[in-house]
Amino acid sequence: MLVLLVEDDPAIAASLREGLARFGYEVDWVTTGREALAAEPPDIVLLDLGLPDMDGLDVCRRLRTRSTVPIIVVTARGDEVDTVAGLEVGADDYVAKPFGVREIVARIRAVTRRHGIDGTGETTEPAPPSLRIGAVSVDVPARRVVRHDDEVALAPKEFDLLVALTRRVGSVVTREALIDEVWDTHWFGSTRTLDVHVSALRQKLGPEIVITTVRGVGFRVEHGDAS
């Protein structure tokens, strides 16, 4: 599996490259956002936010517009705003420095497992079928959402959250279950991230789908007004 490491600190990069190699990963190391955007397509990206030439959030956003490659943000920033911002622009996970190589490997395995990718970069499981709720069709293999005849642009985690909810239409899904399924059990961030993504889905899908908050428990998705 090819890992694109975007990190401008040589000491951190050297440690990660050596550690990831021990676990069988091939690492392509670049130090700037421009190099990251010009690199050959990897299987996964480890992306530092504090780059010398451009903000890592911009790099993440631009990578996401052209690819569904898993992205793990690796940064010294510990502010929750940065965490949420990274996830909103398309990151799949977030690791704050300092960290250990084993933690990074665990995150890589968790993210690639959610994407159905094994160590060779090949898909390991057949894609699940499409889902429909009212006027909204969720094409899971293609990761596309269509409302009536219009495609709705969702961030990766928004899509994963919608799938998790629509697979259980009418049932309450606990916050813990959604975080485990969408962000994995290795997620250590604030549960506010879940609320941010639910709010985004409500805004983008409008009245077509109703996502009800069950206070103290979780969320329930139901058919909305499809007119």
Nearest alpha carbon to residue 71 among 175, 155, 140 = 155
Helix (H, G, I), strand (E, B) or coil at 143: coil
Residue 122 confidence (pLDDT) above 80: no
| Band of pLDDT at residue 149, cut at 50, 70 and 90 | confident
Name the residue with higher pLDDT: 97 or 3: 3
In the prediction, which pLDDT does 140 show? 83
Percent of the chain clearing pLDDT 90 (strictly above):
34
* In a domain? residue 123: no
pLDDT for res 216: 87
Q: Is 3 helix (H, G, I), strand (E, B) or coil?
A: strand
Bridge partners of residue 71, in order along the sequence: 45
Residue at 11 is within a domain? yes
Q: Are 101 and 89 in contact (CB under 8 A)?
A: no
**Alpha carbons 138 and 52: distance in angstroms, whole number:** 39
CATH of the domain at 44: 3.40.50.2300
Which whole number is the average pLDDT over 200-205? 92
Selected residue with higher pLDDT from 114 and 148: 148
Greater confidence (169 vs 182) lies with 169
For the chain, the average pLDDT equals: 83
- How confident is the model at residue 184, as a pLDDT? 57
pLDDT at 127: 45
Say whether both 105 and 158 belong to one domain. Answer: no
Distance, CA of 30 to CA of 33 (rounded, Å): 8
Give me the CATH number covering residue 138.
Answer: 1.10.10.10
* Count of domains for the chain: 2
Cβ neighbourhood burial of 65 (10 Å; 0-12, 13-18, 19+): exposed
Contacting residues for 132 by C-beta, under 8 A, at least 6 apart? 138
